[in-house]
Amino acid sequence: MSSVPQVASAIQRVLTTRAKELERASGFVERSSAQVDGPIFAQTTVLCWMNEPQASYSQLQQVASSLGVQVSNQAIEQRFGKPSAALMQHLLEEAVGQVISSEASAPEVLGRFNGVYLQDGTVISLPAALAQSWPGCGGSTPEAGRSSVRAQVRLELAQGQMQGPWLQPGRAAERSGEAHETPRPLGCLYTVDVGYFTLTEMRRHGNEGRFWLTQAKANLKLYDQRGQCWDLLDLLEAQHSETIDLQVQVGVKERLPARLIAVRLSKEQVKQRRARANKQHEGPPKGCQPPGKRRSTTGKRQRWRKNRRVSPARERLMEWTVRLPNVPAERLSVEEALVLARCRGPLELLWKLWKQHGKLDTWRSMKPYRVLTEIFAKLLGLVITHWLTLLGCWQAPNRSLVKAKQVVQWMAPGLALALAGDVPLERVVKRTADSMRGCTLNARHKQPNSYQLLDNPKLIRGLG
């Protein structure tokens, strides 16, 4: 369990000690007389964007002044480039290596496993000039999608320990790199989307003593206990039951042993689910846009999505909530499995928080390495924000990550003064954590929060 001194030490190490050690290796500092050295630049960018995610050069200059360095706006601007991006990427990697967790006590259902791990990621578009270093996935025009970065995060639900963010080119597969290869402990439960593992990998994890819980594709092939092969939808409809819990084998060739858990939804729930699936989402591309072409209204972080209807098979599957775990029934009931699958929400909310409130995928400049530096600095600030949240309010089951981030924004200038040596850093970290005690959510009756479902899994029955 992490303490105030440990978090303060981690912040000091990343933003001061390692920033100084890496300033020359990254090429950021070439002469020792530089006013804006590695620590000053790292602290200026990270703390400024923690406080104001859309800060200008003028605001960056003000933060540098609070750190004891008097420079012009132009001097700050000139420090952005390929070396600054390299420096901030190295510092982010240093932060990822820190192990920070909360002393929160796990709900009973989470305590049955050696950690319950969620994993998810996002792709952020980059200026096309970065395509050689960060190749993208392509797009509808020659310039669109030429460059992007994929970021993935793994979150342990009970104690809040975060692994990542791991970065890779947008073109790279989700199922590759550190995000995929970093091991999980034996006895843990891993709940992910279907694209994260192959059936062969799922079998290996099960044989090694790890549990998994995932969704089911509409075109999935299954074998029942008599050895008969079924399409998923045909097997569900053949049961003539509202709740299904069967032992099956998944895949025509792999024949992976698993539980098939399914609950039929009400007509109203199906109607709501189909309306969400077919809804058209409109918004400009992520990231930077040429001057004069910005859209000033909401939705800046959403991609344009065509109004494509779902396939007939997926349309039929919307009548069901279906999950595939390898956890025995005596260890996890149907309701508990559905709750744990729904608890992917906290990680989705984390990404939403990082984008909407942290402005991770928006910026004010079109300069490629300024954009890349800003992404790395914002990610580093968001990681530090998570560390402080673990100290301050992760112990509360009804914690509010949005309110916790607001506290960190308010206290960011205090962190700047502490790193400048004007006040003890541990005192500021403790005051920040203490200020989060009221960062909680109210209980909801119609749409219960995750903490309510973990406390009473039977509430899941009323949700679509």
- Digit-coded pLDDT (tens) for 183-240: 889 999 998 877 777 888 889 999 999 999 988 888 889 999 999 999 988 898 888 8
Q: Are residues 84 and 162 in the same domain?
A: no
Q: Are residues 54 and 147 in the same domain?
A: no
Q: Are residues 130 and 200 in the same domain?
A: yes
Residue (of 99, 144, 106) closest to 125 by Cα position: 144
Q: Which residues contact 298 (CB under 8 A, 6 or more apart)?
A: none
Residue 1 has what pLDDT? 59
Element (H, E) at 151: strand 148-156
Residue 286 has what pLDDT? 45
Q: Are residues 267 and 145 in the same domain?
A: yes
Reading the block at residue 439, the tokens are 């960062």
Q: Are residues 62 and 182 in the same domain?
A: no
Q: How confident is the prediction for the chain on average, in pLDDT?
A: 85
Average pLDDT over residues 403-410: 94
Q: Are residues 348 and 372 in the same domain?
A: no
Residue (of 316, 117, 120) closest to 213 by Cα position: 117
pLDDT band at 60 (very low <50, low <70, confident <90, very high): very high
pLDDT in tens, 424-457: 999 999 999 999 988 988 877 777 777 777 777 7
Domains of the chain: total: 2
- What's the full length of the chain, in residues? 464
Residue (of 315, 313, 332) closest to 323 by Cα position: 332
Name the domain boundary from 297, 319, 353.
353
Is residue 67 one of the residues assigned to a domain?
Answer: yes
Residue 193 has what pLDDT? 79
Average pLDDT over residues 259-284: 73
Is residue 137 one of the residues assigned to a domain?
Answer: yes
Which residue type does 1 have?
M
Host domain of residue 421? 4-99+361-434
- CA 464/CA 461 separation, integer angstroms: 8
pLDDT band at 248 (very low <50, low <70, confident <90, very high): very high
Residue 199 has what pLDDT? 86
Structure pTM? 0.87
Residues of the chain with pLDDT > 90: what percent?
50
Label residues 361-397 b or e (16+ Cβ within 10 Å = b).
bbbeeebbbbbbbbbbbbbbbbbbbbbbbbbbbbbbb
Q: Are residues 87 and 226 in the same domain?
A: no
